């Protein structure tokens, strides 16, 4: 069963920009899974990032596997801070960043975890991930990025997948100084170094990362942010979101997830795409056209 196609996926005039909309955290809980599948069937989502250690991954994976991979790219959301497969490896983000920059992470345990998460993805989906990114962007950290790319080269020598880049967009994309600062901090933690490794390995990346904000403000404010991101978008950008539906599972982003779902599932989202002259397309397809020689 395939996902519905958005009316903005059809080829348009060359002045239109192509981006991909990605929902993170699939598998963390049933409310996220339900929201993702609803958005996919509306044709609003082209990429889903899977947390293979999440409590709802095993039950949610078959629904993703049944969807057409040409319309929906499913990637590994490498997770070291919330639900890693080795619980002893779990670290809050701050200490993890510090240990990564001090080169004090256990490289053997980290390599095992990366392999285990890729194994779990392949076993559930019956194929390699279309791309790899990281929960809280951990995939770009020192040590993590090196071991990750080594394993991707060993496991997938022909390449074919892409990596999420966290490069920050221009000032106009940010509604306030705080979110602009957050976006630049995320990028500063490893975007340039990861891009250098990816180029050497022949792996494509999205151009920039849209969708960074403080998870506050309600649906109306999020709608305004989406419109700003769309108008600032360039060809090959990735719009990250964290949509979800109500759940009994503990989740500090519950309200923000529901606000995002309300905005992204509304008919007005199609109008916002048209007003910004943006069309949605799977990132892998966009990057093959933009970077044909990689």
Q: Where are the domains of the chain?
A: 17-290
Closest CA to 80 of 29, 143, 130: 143
The answer to which of 3-12, 81-90, 160-169 has the lowest mean pLDDT is 3-12
| pTM beyond 0.95, yes or no | no
Compute how many other C-beta atoms are within 10 angstroms of the C-beta atom of residue 293: 4
Give residue 30's pLDDT: 96
pLDDT average, residue stretch 191-206: 97
Task: Show the tokens assigned to 133.
Answer: 């990114």
Q: What angle do CA 232, 48, 253 make, to 5 degrees?
A: 80
pLDDT, tens digit, 9 for 90 and up, residues 49-71:
999 999 999 999 999 999 999 99
Task: Show the tokens assigned to 261.
Answer: 């779902």
Q: Is the model's pLDDT at 254 over the cut of 80?
A: yes
Mean pLDDT of the chain: 94
pLDDT average, residue stretch 131-139: 99
Residue 73, strand partner residues:
47
pLDDT average, residue stretch 130-153: 98
Distance CA 272, CA 79 (A): 32
CATH code: domain 17-290 is: 3.20.20.370
Residue 98 banded pLDDT, cuts 50, 70, 90: very high
pLDDT average, residue stretch 137-164: 97
Burial class (CB in 10 A: 0-12, 13-18, 19+), 291: middle
Give residue 2's pLDDT: 52
pLDDT average, residue stretch 210-219: 96
Distance CA 37, CA 55 (A): 17
pLDDT average, residue stretch 216-225: 96
Residue 3 banded pLDDT, cuts 50, 70, 90: low
pLDDT, tens digit, 9 for 90 and up, residues 158-196:
999 999 999 999 887 887 889 999 999 999 999 999 999
DSSP category for residue 6: P
DSSP category for residue 210: E
State in Å, rounded, how far the first CA of the chain is from the last one.
Answer: 31
Q: Is the model's pLDDT at 249 over the cut of 80?
A: yes
Can you state the angle between helices 268-276 and 254-265, rounded to 10 degrees? 70
pLDDT average, residue stretch 217-226: 96
pLDDT average, residue stretch 12-36: 92
């Amino acid at each position: 069963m395939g996902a519905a196609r958005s009316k903005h996926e059809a080829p348009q005039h060359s002045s239109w920009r192509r981006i991909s909309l990605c929902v993170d955290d699939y598998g963390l809980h049933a409310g996220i899974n339900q929201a993702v599948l609803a958005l996919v069937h509306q044709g609003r989502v082209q990429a889903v990032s899977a947390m293979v250690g999440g409590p709802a991954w095993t039950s949610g994976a078959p629904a993703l596997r049944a969807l057409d991979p040409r319309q929906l790219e499913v990637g590994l959301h490498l997770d070291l801070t919330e639900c890693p497969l080795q619980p002893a490896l779990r670290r809050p983000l701050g200490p993890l960043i510090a240990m990564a920059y001090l080169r004090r992470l256990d490289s053997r345990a980290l390599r095992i975890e990366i392999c285990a998460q890729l194994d779990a993805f392949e076993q559930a989906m019956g194929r390699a991930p279309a791309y790899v990114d990281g929960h809280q962007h951990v995939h770009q950290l020192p040590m993590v990025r090196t071991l990750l790319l080594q394993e991707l080269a060993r496991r997938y020598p022909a390449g074919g997948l892409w990596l999420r880049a966290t490069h920050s967009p221009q000032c106009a994309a940010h509604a306030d100084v705080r979110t602009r600062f957050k976006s630049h901090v995320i990028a500063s933690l490893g975007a340039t170094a990861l891009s250098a490794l990816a180029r050497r390995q022949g792996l494509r990346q999205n151009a920039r990362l849209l969708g960074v904000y403080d998870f506050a403000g309600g649906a109306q404010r999020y709608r305004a942010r989406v419109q700003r991101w769309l108008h600032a978008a360039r060809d090959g950008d990735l719009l990250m979101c964290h949509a979800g539906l109500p759940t009994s599972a503990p989740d500090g982003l519950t309200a923000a997830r529901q606000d995002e779902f309300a905005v992204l599932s509304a008919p007005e989202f199609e109008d916002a795409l048209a007003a910004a002259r943006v069309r949605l397309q799977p990132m892998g397809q966009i990057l093959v056209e933009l970077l044909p020689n990689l």
